Structure 1
Amino acid sequence: MGGCAGSRRRLLDSEGEETAPEPRSPLLDRPGALWKNAVGFWLLGLCNNFSYVVMLSAAHDILSRQRASGNQSHVDPDPAPTTHNSSSRFDCNSVSTAAVLLADILPTLVIKLLAPLGLHLLPYSPRVLVSGLCCAGSFILVAFSHSVGTSLCGVVLASISSGLGEVTFLSLTAFYPSYFFLLTSPEPQDPGGEEEAETSARQPLIGSEAPEAKPASSPNLSLWERWTVFKGLLWYIVPLVLVYFAEYFINQGLFELLFFRNTSLTHAQQYRWYQMLYQAGVFVSRSSLRCCQIRFTWVLALLQCFNLAFLLADVWLNFLPSIYLVFLIILYEGLLGGAAYVNTFHNIALEMSDEHREFAMAAACISDTLGISLSGLLALPLHDFLCHLS
């Protein structure tokens, strides 16, 4: 890819002497600006994923509302483990938790498919505002709903919030020396270009005197240039699609079926522990890029697919003797998933040219959503098939 971030250019006068470089942006000269930006993006990512993660973690409880009598809105958070499909050896809900996954991911998929085509025309401020309102609305709907349908509408709002926020914040990282979830910085840019990018990126967020100003790079790319850049991204996109397909097939297709009866934990409690351990692994690995950087993310894709095959075999053959072994595997699964995500975008940020970086960051985030959507579509029939086994 044409020059990601080369060495700082030096301007020579007619006598061959170096002239003083243009002053850096005050935003970068302030003490601690690098870490302030890093922590800021870390918090943005944490808040953006919050509603999405909560909805998936509560998927088993949301679907259990189907068994609540009448209009009773309260569902016992720790119901006794009963078999809802008596003809099956599994303890199944009538609807797979993959239904919640699809409600939580398909709106995000639509947003990410459309984002590279024209979302850059909208300033950052309205995007962040809409994302925040959808997040708040999602919790209100789910908290006060009396039916699965209303709860799923709240899940859809959480999906819109997460998808719009992710595209927005990832695009914004293209103009800062600190990247998403403590990504390491690329080489220094040309000081003039860096200052212009800083100003353009911040203006829509803080409402300066020229709110209509936008980054001058990606919006000027032709359709053919965008397609060329996207084809170059496939090396990064395909492994991440596989990683997310495997892990969410596990999370929403197999977690519900990995039920251990020889433990004090109820089925709902086991499901929550699975989700918590997975998210803990993701949180740690996404926040640790400065400690461990992985160039070849396809290795992570192969390891995650092996996790899927192993746990699918256990669901079918029931050979793991203890739930604690499953706990360890799920924690490891989360570590792989988070590492794949953060290293993919780190590699893109380093290898894309300045003019392509904003578009590339926005376009590449389709990969995790595509993998999750495919896993949800396949997990639904798998759930029905396994739950009807006698």
Structure 2
Amino acid sequence: MGNGAAAPFGRYGAPSMPSVVGYLKRAAMLHPRPRHSPPPEDLELDDVATHSWIRSPPAPHLPVDDEEPAMREEDEREEDALLRPHTTPDSRRLLFKLGSSFFLFGLINNVLYVVILSAALDLVPPSTPKGIIAFCNIFPALVAKVGWPYVLKGRIRYTRRIIGNTILSVLGMLVVAMFDSLYMRLLGICLASFSSGLGELTYLQLSTTYHPPSVAGDSVGYFAAGTGAAGLVGASWWWMLRNLGVQIGVGVSSILPLVIPLAYYTILPQPAAFADLHLPPAYEDDTIGPVISPYTPIPSSDDPDLDEQGTEVKRSVALTAKDKWALVKPLLMVYMLPLFIVYTLEYTINQGVAPTLVYPVPSPEKNWLLSHIIHSVRDYYPLWQLVYQTTVFFSRSAITLGFPPLPRRLLPLPAAVQAVILTILVIDSAVGIFSDESEGLSISLVFLLIALEGICGGLAYVNVFYRVNQENTTSADGDPERSKQEREFKIGSIGFADSMGILLASLIAVPTEVQLCNIQAARGKMICKSL
């Protein structure tokens, strides 16, 4: 990944011939020569015919004064074309289809995770700890993220994997809907979780098959935006269906995974569709640098013997354990550790601290606005989750919305901010930053900190995967198939960091919540104990 400055036309390709002509025209206009001065008296006829300052008279229907503004406007349009990507209706259509597909991949892949968490109270008996739902909803996903990239070798068969994921998701939700047994429902949740983890891994790896890097970056951006939207859509979806009961509500939800193969086959453009388009090679980002290696078409068929042109490809290319370790080592401190810390702190807040951030119900006399939002002490936790999910959605959509990616050196910043947020929220929960009579100030402070927590978590997710996606990877032997597998492995190897953070947070959250409630009760605040 180079850090050198890009060439003047490096981002948008070489200028076309009309653009060069326009540039020369404009240069001539900036230094005009006299048009109507008489020729010298001693000039010979042959000299008059060939003298460089002689100009043909303007056309009778176009005065000279009207010609120059017209030429100037034309030249300005040609020069502007040099300063922006050469997009066409076809390229815009392809980019729209690409963004829509990856947004749907992220949305549908993660929405079942949110639906299951939202339905946790309805899925298990009251005597069953709800933490068991969270564990079954994350541990199988962690197994998928660790197992597939690190254990499996060779080319990824995207079509087969997506079809398999869809079957597992539908089957898992149907098992949850059709059986009343706790163990069968937990089995169904595990199947859906495994499918979700493998799906996230698959779509992130699929993004690396697109070229130029700006297109691959758009794929990651839209996928991250879809995962952020899943929180809001999933919670709203279950809120509409919960009155139908578990069997009907979860059964209806089982049709959602079918959207993914539909989008994959009917909307998603193939990587080869972008090969002939004039698109920017990469975003203007000095920390990423220009693309060093030229693009080489890579096999995309699921047939292990044939590539897109039907020619035979190598069958022996596969990364060894030593190769994978060499690729992972540079990623550990730069990408994995910041993501792991962010998710550990984030889910500790959500599962261990946020349930204890409860206050007296605001009165209309003191807090007119808050009294219309919070009607009971049980409204606080859903409010914090709504604030969190909303800010996660917008922050994960940051690159899609046009915000520049975080510089690589600032990737640990969200983790540092999360640590400060966790510290302040723990202090407020345990001893109270403001007095008990100032619940309005306490609620406002928690609102802002939860919103900042969601922003940090979303920015960490989208920027880490975007950076890994944009890294230039060229194998030592120049084999395009090996380079492809290296890119896929690198972005796939990152995924277990966030799942490990969530799993660790689920273990920390339970004693944290209990201890904070006990501290509140010791100082006479019994609201947490009454929930």
For residues 494 and 194 of structure 2, what CA distance do their matches in structure 1 show? 18
- Residue 364 of structure 1 aligns with an amino acid whose one-letter code is I
Q: How does 1:47-196 map to 2 (within 5 A)?
A: 47-59=108-120, 62=123, 65-66=125-126, 95=129, 97-116=130-149, 117-118=151-152, 121=155, 123-143=157-177, 146=180, 149-176=183-210, 177-178=215-216, 179-182=219-222, 186=282, 193=296, 196=297
For residues 212 and 62 of structure 1, what CA distance do their matches in structure 2 show? 50
Look up the SS of the partner of 2:220 in the other structure. coil
For residues 353 and 268 of structure 1, what CA distance do their matches in structure 2 show? 51
Q: How does 1:270-285 map to 2 (within 5 A)?
A: 270-285=380-395
Determine the structure 2 residue equivalent to 1:365.
495
Task: For residue 258 of structure 1, report the CA deviation from its aligned partner.
Answer: 2.3
For residues 119 and 47 of structure 1, what CA distance do their matches in structure 2 show? 27
Greater C-alpha radius of gyration: 2
Determine the structure 1 residue equivalent to 2:322.
224
The count of residues paired between Structure 1 and Structure 2 equals 336
- Residue 279 of structure 1 aligns with an amino acid whose one-letter code is Q
Task: For residue 244 of structure 1, report the CA deviation from its aligned partner.
Answer: 0.5
What is the aligned-residue RMSD (CA, Å)?
3.7
Report the CA distance shift for 1:364/1:141 in structure 2 as closer, same or farther (over 3 A).
Answer: same
Gaps of 5+ in 1: 11-27, 68-93
For residues 352 and 191 of structure 1, what CA distance do their matches in structure 2 show? 10
Determine the structure 1 residue equivalent to 2:257.
none
Determine the structure 1 residue equivalent to 2:331.
233
TM, length-normalised to structure 1: 0.73
Between the aligned residues of both structures, percent identity stands at 32
**Contact 2:137/2:189, CA 8 A, preserved across alignment:** yes
**Contact 1:238/1:367, CA 8 A, preserved across alignment:** yes
Cα deviations by residue, 1:203-256 (Å, 9 ceiling, x for unpaired): 339xx9979999979953332221111001111110111101110111122232
For residues 276 and 214 of structure 1, what CA distance do their matches in structure 2 show? 53
For residues 194 and 378 of structure 2, what CA distance do their matches in structure 1 show? 27
Cα deviations by residue, 1:321-342 (Å, 9 ceiling, x for unpaired): 2445433322221111111011
Cα deviations by residue, 1:73-112 (Å, 9 ceiling, x for unpaired): xxxxxxxxxxxxxxxxxxxxx73x5433222111111111
**Contact 1:60/1:271, CA 8 A, preserved across alignment:** no
Cα deviations by residue, 1:186-217 (Å, 9 ceiling, x for unpaired): 45686661xx23xx33x339xx9979999979
- Choose between structure 1 and 2 for higher RCO, CA contacts under 8 A separated by at least 6 residues: 1
For residues 350 and 158 of structure 1, what CA distance do their matches in structure 2 show? 30
Determine the structure 1 residue equivalent to 2:24.
none
Equivalent position to 2:507, from 351, 356, 377: 377
Cα deviations by residue, 1:30-49 (Å, 9 ceiling, x for unpaired): 55323321232122111111
**Contact 1:170/1:362, CA 8 A, preserved across alignment:** yes
Cα deviations by residue, 1:156-201 (Å, 9 ceiling, x for unpaired): 23311210101111111111123212489745686661xx23xx33
For residues 214 and 339 of structure 1, what CA distance do their matches in structure 2 show? 42
Determine the structure 2 residue equivalent to 1:345.
465
**Contact 1:181/1:286, CA 8 A, preserved across alignment:** yes
Report the CA distance shift for 1:100/1:255 in structure 2 as closer, same or farther (over 3 A).
Answer: farther
Report the CA distance shift for 1:314/1:353 in structure 2 as closer, same or farther (over 3 A).
Answer: same
Determine the structure 2 residue equivalent to 1:82.
none
